[in-house]
Chains A and B, each alone.
Chain A
Amino acid sequence: MLAGIAIFLAVLAAIFFIAGRANGKKQRPIAILVFLGPALVLLLFGLLGPAIRTFVLSFKGSASHTWVGFKNYQWLFTDESMRIVLRNTVFWILFTPIITTGLGLLLAILLDRMRRESVAKSLIFMPMAISFVGASIIWKFVYQYANPNQPQIGLMSSIARHLGFGPTNWLLQQPLNTFLLMIIFVWSQTGFAMVILSAAIKAVPADIMEASALDGAHGWKLFRGVTFPMVRSTFIVVLATMVVATLKLFDIVQASTGGNFGTSVLANEMYSEVFVRYDAGRGSAMAIVLFLLVVPVLVYNIYNLRRERSIA
């Protein structure tokens, strides 16, 4: 490992040293090549190539032997069970990114105002550090349901019983179950939003805050007038990252319900089609639809970046 890192850094140092010698007209193109080249080569082979291959496969049959035209897409948009999957995917995109990012921002602001923030911050961050296997077990102990005559090992059923309601089979209640799964996502990802946004808030110069405070800005007004505009671009970046994470989400659904009881989402179905039912065609078509779903986010990002540039 150390050898690997050493070679990597030595090669970089050598390239920097040699390229840094270049002067005048050649410097710019060389700089672009050196800075961007490695990333582009890796992205080409690691992601772009496979993405193109997926596009091609989406027009082929389950074992990729025959061309089937738009049949996979047609199935995706007309199949009865797929309609629920698409509906759930829309639910997830509408709710989870904004809740996660909003909560992360709230926490980041509050943390900035308290002393000894690091312990609380670490506790909220902790779910991110828990491996997926751990997280699925944790939430099993929250949502688990047993027949009423049995002891309840699920926290929610137990609380419900103590409050005088009968225990409910939470994961069977549609559409409540989809929202229960969203809670798991929010629980695990808020730490990400909080840490990034907190870093952005720390970067807001104290003198600006002070000056505004002396001008009489407090609370909501200070937030709207000063804090939020300063972290706006970071907020959008985190939001976009959360949209992508939501679209790619499959493990929470996979472990909690296996996609049953009307909780499946597109990414989960894609995984199942490719790795459980071995239908590469349908799975690829789903991957392409996921890709198309991210286009609006992309457009919004472009719009926003342009706007920011024109202000600056």
Chain B
Amino acid sequence: MSLLTRNKAPKLADHNAGRKLFGSRGATITVWIIAIFWTIPTLGLFATSFRPKEEISANGWWNFFIHPHLTLANYSAIFSSGTTSGISNGIMPYVINSFVITIPAVIFPITIATMAAYCLAWVKFRGSDALFYGIFALQIVPIQVALVPLLNLFTGGVHIGTVTVVPALHIAGTFVGIWLPHTMFALPLAIYLLHNFISSLPRDLMEAANVDGASHFTVFRRIVLPLSVPAIAAFTIFQFLWVWNDLLVALTFTGGTEGINPLNAKLRGLAGTWGSHWELLTSSAFVMIVVPLIVFFSLQRYFVRGLLAGSVK
């Protein structure tokens, strides 16, 4: 640990020096061309969200830049409390619900997955590889097929014959009942990605710690967790995005309980029963995008820290 902290500062500088060395104008231009291509469709959404309803289906969104006719009506329709939006107190309660659902549903699976990944990578035991592949394979299980059995577990428990294996949990329609499925569904990918990262941590570091008599718990806390920050940050972003934008799990496990719906589920209702209210859908899509982008920006710096600088595989 001390070895790493000591090396960190100078190596970080070295890394930057290296980048300068290979920096090239060509790379910059290529990246920007791709970035612009990638942004055009999103720009269309952004422009559309500021256009009046009748113009959206009358002509293409690029006309917005030729004849700008900007309106904030679409956004005010979302934020206003009132009958037109079908949301009685505005969207703020649902924004909070979204956070209450998302933050634990990110922290729980990442913690559990980091522990499991460390165990599978470094606390080897008979069948640990097979177990890892089994977990990898579970990624393909479609969430849709898990909905009914999970709901049954929450409302009725698990019984084999007359023997109750798990009693009814009675958590359908509570936040716990939404966190739990999100945690379950996130584990295979989280364990897979984190295992890849943790298993490539320098072997000598682990062995040195073991020689010092450190327990697995100490190794995990003192070495694995701090060194895994980039991987944890990366997965945090994806899990956050997935939960934040999720509709299926939220709809299924809120179970009709009023007041725990996340923003996404609520904004879907704005589209109306029969209408195609693109003006509301586009603006709500942008409201939804803001928070994940903040998360992305604030976690991005962990990727460039070069925490592993100096360690060779």
Kindly identify which residue among B14, B241, B293 contacts A207, using a CB–CB cutoff of 8 Å: B14
Is A84 among interface residues, defined by CB-CB distance under 8 A? no
Q: Which residues of B contact A153 (CB under 8 A)?
A: 56-61
Is B221 among interface residues, defined by CB-CB distance under 8 A? yes
Complex contact A1–B100 (CB within 8 A): yes
Interface string of A1-36 (1 = CB under 8 A from B): 100110011001000100110100001100110111
Complex contact B103–A1 (CB within 8 A): yes
Is A81 among interface residues, defined by CB-CB distance under 8 A? no
Complex contact B149–A50 (CB within 8 A): yes
Q: B264-313: which have CB < 8 Å to A?
A: 264, 267-268, 278, 281-282, 284-286, 288-289, 292-293, 296-297, 300, 303-313
Q: B187-240: which have CB < 8 Å to A?
A: 187-189, 191-193, 196, 200, 203, 215-218, 220-221, 230-231, 234, 237-238
Kindly identify which residue among A1, A198, A294, A302 contacts B140, using a CB–CB cutoff of 8 Å: A294
Alpha-carbon gap, A43 to B188, bound state (A): 8
Complex contact A51–B141 (CB within 8 A): yes
Complex contact B133–A302 (CB within 8 A): yes
Q: Which residues of A contact B79 (CB under 8 A)?
A: none
Complex contact B44–A298 (CB within 8 A): no
Alpha-carbon gap, A99 to B19, bound state (A): 26
Complex contact A244–B139 (CB within 8 A): yes
The interface of chain B, by Cβ under 8 A from chain A, is 11, 14-19, 21-24, 27-28, 30-32, 34-36, 38-42, 44-45, 48, 56-62, 99-100, 103-104, 107-108, 111-113, 115-116, 118-120, 123, 125, 129, 131, 133, 135-142, 144-146, 148-150, 153, 158, 166, 175-176, 179-181, 183-185, 187-189, 191-193, 196, 200, 203, 215-218, 220-221, 230-231, 234, 237-238, 241, 244-245, 247, 264, 267-268, 278, 281-282, 284-286, 288-289, 292-293, 296-297, 300, 303-313
A223 to chain B, nearest CB (A): 11
Chain A interface helix/strand/loop/mixed: helix
B140 to chain A, nearest CB (A): 4
Which residue, of A35, A107, A208, has the highest number of chain B Cβ atoms within 10 A? A35
Complex contact B289–A126 (CB within 8 A): yes
Please name 16 pairs of A and B residues whose Cβ atoms are closer than 8 Å in the assembled complex, sorted by A. A45-B150, A46-B150, A49-B149, A50-B148, A113-B28, A123-B38, A124-B38, A153-B61, A205-B312, A207-B18, A234-B196, A240-B136, A241-B189, A274-B144, A283-B145, A284-B145
Complex contact A127–B23 (CB within 8 A): no
A126 to chain B, nearest CB (A): 6
Alpha-carbon gap, A128 to B268, bound state (A): 19
Complex contact A8–B38 (CB within 8 A): no
Q: If A54-B145, A129-B292, A203-B308 touch, does A151 touch B58 (CB 8 Å cutoff)?
A: yes
Which residue, of B111, B144, B241, has the highest number of chain A Cβ atoms within 10 A? B144
Complex contact A127–B60 (CB within 8 A): no
Q: A105-135: which have CB < 8 Å to B?
A: 107, 109-115, 117-118, 120-134
The interface of chain A, by Cβ under 8 A from chain B, is 1, 4-5, 8-9, 12, 16, 19-20, 22, 27-28, 31-32, 34-36, 38-40, 42-43, 45-51, 53-54, 103, 107, 109-115, 117-118, 120-134, 137-139, 141-142, 151-155, 158, 187, 190, 192, 195-196, 198-199, 202-203, 205-210, 213, 230, 233-234, 237, 240-241, 244, 247-248, 267, 270-271, 274-275, 283-284, 287, 290-291, 293-295, 298, 301-302, 305, 312
Q: Which residues of A contact B183 (CB under 8 A)?
A: 42, 46
Chain B interface helix/strand/loop/mixed: helix
Q: Which residues of B contact A118 (CB under 8 A)?
A: 297, 300
Kindly identify which residue among A43, A122, A312 contacts B313, using a CB–CB cutoff of 8 Å: A312
B112 to chain A, nearest CB (A): 5
A235 to chain B, nearest CB (A): 10
A114 nearest CB neighbor, chain B only: B28
Q: Which residues of A contact B146 (CB under 8 A)?
A: 46-47, 50
B216 to chain A, nearest CB (A): 4
Alpha-carbon gap, A54 to B144, bound state (A): 10
Q: Which residues of A contact B24 (CB under 8 A)?
A: 113-114
Q: Which residues of A contact B296 (CB under 8 A)?
A: 122, 125, 129
Q: Which residues of B contact A36 (CB under 8 A)?
A: 115-116, 119-120, 131
Q: If A202-B306, A237-B196 touch, does A291 touch B281 (CB 8 Å cutoff)?
A: no
Complex contact B45–A206 (CB within 8 A): no
Q: If A31-B215, A130-B289 touch, does A50 touch B220 (CB 8 Å cutoff)?
A: no
A40 to chain B, nearest CB (A): 8
Complex contact A8–B135 (CB within 8 A): no
Q: Which residues of A contact B144 (CB under 8 A)?
A: 270-271, 274-275
Q: Which residues of A contact B61 (CB under 8 A)?
A: 141, 153, 155
Kindly identify which residue among B44, B133, B179, B308 contacts A155, using a CB–CB cutoff of 8 Å: B44
Complex contact A138–B45 (CB within 8 A): yes
Alpha-carbon gap, A312 to B202, bound state (A): 11
Q: Which residues of A contact B125 (CB under 8 A)?
A: 28, 32
B69 to chain A, nearest CB (A): 15
